[in-house]
Chains A and B, each alone.
Chain A
Amino acid sequence: MSHPLHDEKLKELELKALEVRRLLIEMLVEAKSGHTAGPLGMADIFTAFYFHILDHDPKNPEWPERDRLILSNGHIVPIRYAVMALAGYFPVEEAKKTLRKFGSRLQGHPERERLPGMETTSGPLGSGLSQAAGIAYGAKMDKRRFRVYCLMSDGEQDAGNVWEGAMFAAKYKLNNLTAIIDRNNIQINGMTEEVMPLEPLEDKYKAFGWHVLHVDGHNVRHFVDAIEHAQAVYEKPTVIIAHTIPGKGIEEIEFDYLWHGKPPKPEEGKKFLDELRTLGGKIRSEHE
């Protein structure tokens, strides 16, 4: 990440995030199954990654020096597909038409083998942090400069594998690893604090040897600042707890855990697309 985030670039990113949300809704309506709330909530962060933060080359997805973005909670992959398509990894039409379809590279949960640029296969929760830590460890062994990012959900913090990975990353001082937790407070059975309380999440990560930051996951500037801050921490890995609104951008879906695991019906999709179109600069104005 070598370019400063000028106001103009920020505006560009925010408009791009809107485009990403529109594409996502079209994809989910066409797919007729999948998750809606989680992917919408991560639209801003994914846009920031692919259009500003990551050092990557969509035309050369296996470029050895690329930054690695590991998606641990594979079920929100439609948002990654949408962003990757818009970034030029594959045609936008393929995203619109093939998500979750037979023979598609865009599997319901992501598979590394099928889609170049998809760093890992994921879906079963709790394993991504350790995989990211493994990549970060390997990079350190070979004194490579790229950075490793791992996106996790908050619900998957229930899984023991996450904390095994957290201990490992702290033990080996993997400062080339930054984890991001999508703190949207919902999981399938309800609110995270009812299903299995996670708080005080910050204290837990601190106790596990991590540097902890909080950001508004819909404020791209603050998120980019946090990523830069994390790069300046040398003695430990950093976790950014990104507070997000599940379903962000579509009022009817926002905060509603019942939207965790279902796609919009065609008529809903049409309504949501209209809403996203009229939102225009509104998403941005909330943070000004």
Chain B
Amino acid sequence: MLNPNAHLVSNWNDRTKIEMLPTRDGFGKGLVAAGEKDPRVVVLCADLAESTRAMWFKEKFPDRYIEIGVAEQNLATVASGLAAYGKIPFITSYAAFSPGRNNEQIRTTIALNNVPVKIGGAHAGISVGPDGATHQALEDAGLMRMLPRMTVLIPCDAVEAEKATVAAASLPGPVYIRFGREKSAVLTTKETPFQVGKAEVYREGNDATIIAAGMLLYNALLAAEELGKEGLDIRVVNSHTLKPIDSETIVAAARETGAIVTVEEHQIYGGLGSAVAEVIVAHQPVPMEFIGVRDRFGESGEPAELIEAFGLGVSHIKEAVKKVIERK
């Protein structure tokens, strides 16, 4: 059953009625909220103001909005300078370009330099859809997770994205936040707890645990609900913070449910599945299955079609859960 303390929307299980918004909308609102809270917040944009929602900040704070043009290396390095001076810069682009193209600049001038630049990577995952593989970042979270000092956040919906953006502004170091393009279910509310580094149990259960991040968390919940009807009692954890990973909640899930399935819209190498496996192998080894993109690039298609074609749908998650329970 759902954890009442998670305060999820009441109609979450009705796919026709639930509100649908892209997580980037939460980013746009979060930027404005962070800007209102702290005058040091500035937003840098690489010619994608509309689609990253940086435009919303520009409308509110034109003097604190900096246009960089199509130059992601410059985006990262100018932000590094602004942060060294004393600003809190958010850099906004598509994840394929930032942190894709400017990975070295992020490594040297932001992470090693240890300045509080906040990297917003929009259009992550295959749900980007028709644009195809070049624009579907599937390795960004892994790249950022490997950098010392980097916090990595993967919000599950627009409401959580806003909270994550505001939280990122107040963290002292560099942060990467991952967003999607496609509209996705808004299942959390203002009351849903959100704390960087703290995974949240959204559904109680003891037969197995699904640990998910990003918009696929919704599929995980739907899968758990359907499995419930088949007599399986599945826990669902929102691991919105990929780094620092919440070992305590993961180890408890492994100990109490004895099996884990991770779900992410990212390569299975290096992302959430890897992070969770690192924790359970060291502390509480249990069988584990991975839902994610399996060492291939994305391609053009409709988002829903791609989610199914790449094995990230509700039915795939259900299969993985059954399989992992058999291995217990």
- In the assembled complex, A73 has its CB within 8 A of some CB on chain B: no
Q: Shortest CB–CB separation between residue A131 and chain B, in angstroms?
A: 4
Of the listed residues B42, B73, B77, the one surrounded by the most CB atoms of chain A closer than 10 A to its CB is: B77
Tell me how far the C-beta of B73 lies from the nearest C-beta in chain A, rounded to whole angstroms. Answer: 4
Question: Known interface pairs A127-B105, A127-B109. Does A165 touch B78 (Cβ–Cβ under 8 Å)?
Answer: yes
Chain A contacts for B108, CB-based, 8 A: 121-124, 127
Q: Chain A at the B interface: mostly helix, strand, loop or mixed? A: helix
Whether A127 touches B77, Cβ cut-off 8 Å, given contacts A120-B84, A135-B85, A137-B82, is: yes
Q: Could you give 17 example pairs across A and B, Cβ below 8 Å?
A: A111-B112, A112-B84, A113-B114, A121-B112, A127-B73, A127-B80, A127-B108, A127-B109, A130-B74, A130-B78, A131-B78, A134-B78, A134-B82, A134-B84, A141-B42, A141-B63, A167-B74
Give the chain A neighbours of B89 by CB distance below 8 A.
134
B116 to chain A, nearest CB (A): 13
Q: Are A124 and B77 within 8 A (Cβ)?
A: no
Say whether, besides A111-B112, A112-B113, A168-B68, A138 and B77 are in contact (CB < 8 Å). Answer: no
Check: A132 CB closer than 8 A to any chain B CB.
yes
Q: Is A228 an interface residue (CB 8 A)?
A: no
Complex CA gap A160/B70 in Å reads 12
Query: Cβ of A161 and Cβ of B77 under 8 Å apart?
Result: yes
Cβ of A135 and Cβ of B74 under 8 Å apart? no
Whether A137 contacts B81 by the Cβ 8 Å rule is yes
Cβ of B113 and Cβ of A121 under 8 Å apart?
Answer: yes
Q: CB-defined interface of B64-81 with A at 8 Å, one 1/0 digit per residue?
A: 101011010110011111
Q: How many whole Å from B253's CB to the nearest CB in chain A? A: 36
B235 within 8 A of A: no
Q: Which of A132, A134, A160, A161 contacts B79 (CB 8 A)?
A: A134
B84: contacting residue among A127, A135, A141, A160, CB under 8 A: A135
Q: List, in ascending order, chain A residues with CB within 8 A of B112's CB.
A: 111, 113, 121
Check if A119 is an interface residue, CB within 8 A of chain B: yes
Name the A residues within 8 Å of B105 (CB-CB).
Answer: 124, 127, 161
A164 within 8 A of B: yes
Q: Given A113-B113, A127-B105, A131-B81, verify A137-B73 contact (CB < 8 Å).
A: no
**Residues in B whose Cβ lies below 8 Å from that of A160:** 73
- Known A111-B112, A124-B108; judge A164-B74 contact (CB<8 A): yes
Q: Decide: A134 and B85 in contact? CB cutoff 8 A.
A: yes
Hey, what's the 0/1 contact readout for A132-172 against B, CB within 8 Å counting as 1?
11111111010000000000000000001100110110000
**Cα–Cα, bound, A133→B42 (Å):** 15
Question: Closest CB of chain A to B32's CB: distance in Å?
Answer: 18
Q: Which listed residue (A123, A132, A161, A164) contacts B81, Cβ 8 A?
A: A132
Question: What residue in chain B is nearest A150 (Cβ atoms)?
Answer: B81
B256 touches A (CB below 8 Å): no
Q: Residue B62 at the A interface, CB < 8 A?
A: no
Q: Which residues on A sit within 8 Å (CB–CB) of B113?
A: 111-113, 120-121
Interchain CB contact (< 8 A) of A165 among B66, B77, B85, B86: B77
The 8 A CB mask of A65-89 against B (1 = contact, 0 = none) is 0000010000000000000000000
Binary interface profile of B, 265-295, with partner A (CB < 8 Å = 1, else 0)?
0000000000000000000000000000000
Shortest Cβ distance from A111 into B: residue:
B112
Complex partner residue of B82 from A111, A119, A135, A165, CB under 8 angstroms: A135
Decide yes or no whether B36 CB sits under 8 A from chain A.
Answer: no
Residue in A111, A112, A123, A168 whose CB lies within 8 Å of B78: A168
Provided the pairs A124-B104, A160-B73 are in contact, do residues A133 and B81 lie with their beta carbons within 8 angstroms? yes
Whether A167 and B84, one on each chain, are in contact in the complex, defined by CB atoms closer than 8 angstroms, is no
B82→A161 contact, CB < 8 A: no
Are B77's CB and A137's CB within 8 A? Answer: no
How would residues 32 to 70 of chain B score, 1 for a CB under 8 Å from any chain A CB and 0 otherwise? 000000000010000000000000000000011010110
Q: Report the minimum CB–CB distance from A185 to chain B (whole Å).
A: 26
* A28-79 interface with B by 8 A CB criterion: 64, 70
The answer, yes or no, to whether B135 is at the interface (CB within 8 Å) is: no
**A121 vs B85: C-alpha distance in the bound complex, in angstroms?**
14
- When C-beta atoms are compared, the residue in chain B nearest to A148 turns out to be B81
Interface residues in A156-198 by Cβ distance below 8 A to B read: 160-161, 164-165, 167-168
> Which residue of chain A is the closest to B86 with respect to CB atoms?
A138
- On whether the beta carbons of B71 and A138 are closer than 8 Å, the reply is no
Interface presence of B240 (CB below 8 A): no
Cβ of B87 within 8 Å of any chain A Cβ, yes or no, is yes
Are A133 and B78 interface neighbours, CB within 8 A?
A: yes
A137 with B66: CB separation less than 8 A: yes
Report the bound CA distance from A131 to B82 in whole Å: 7
CB contacts (< 8 Å) of B82 on chain A: these are 134-135, 137-138
Report Cα–Cα, A133/B89, bound state, in Å.
Answer: 14
Distance in Å: Cβ of B199 to nearest Cβ of chain A? 30
A118 to chain B, nearest CB (A): 10
Q: Chain B residues with Cβ under 8 A from A164's Cβ?
A: 69, 71, 73-74
Let me know if B84 and A119 touch, CB within 8 A: yes
Instruction: Let me know if B74 and A165 touch, CB within 8 A.
Output: yes
**Closest B residue by C-beta to A146:** B85
